[in-house]
Amino acid sequence: MKYLSDKVGIADVILLDGFDAFGLPASLSSQRFYDCCHAALRDDGVLVANLLNNDAQLVTYFGRIRRACDGNVFRTVVRHEGNTIAIGVKGRNVPDWHDLYARAEAVTASMGLDLYRYVKKMERHHRADPVSRYPRSGKLAFERDI
């Protein structure tokens, strides 16, 4: 947090995957932290946060990321791993789905990492509720794996 507190427009991508023995630490899940992450992103930058599906604060974390990213947050579920990936975008409301699918196919072809199904999930979640991608309270509805 201290590092990001005065950084503006320094990163294209910020990847968050920080857990301790008790889950996601408060220092990596506060509204101030997510606001600092957003400020540190360049225009069209992307914040990617790995979260635990069974965390009682999951909806709270999504809400904080949503507020920090002006509502431009998408998600995909890694169901068998017990994770949800929140993807916040700075300055762009809707991704170019065609481009994302093409990039996912290229990664699959070159690295064998199947990102296509995650892009499909992300688009499905977005299209199901494009205005408020996540509930303001209560549980997040997770779909089965594709």
Interatomic CA distance for residues 69 and 93, integer angstroms = 10
pLDDT of residue 113: 84
Relative to beta strand 11-16, strand 41-52 is parallel
- pLDDT digit string, tens, across residues 129-145: 654 444 444 444 443 33
Q: What is the pTM of this model?
A: 0.76
Task: Answer yes or no: are the C-beta atoms of 88 and 38 closer than 8 Å.
Answer: yes
Interatomic CA distance for residues 14 and 37, integer angstroms = 7
- pLDDT digit string, tens, across residues 69-78: 998 888 888 8
Q: Hey, what domains does the chain have and what are their CATH numbers?
A: 4-93 (3.40.50.150), 94-131 (no CATH)
More confident residue, 93 or 11: 11
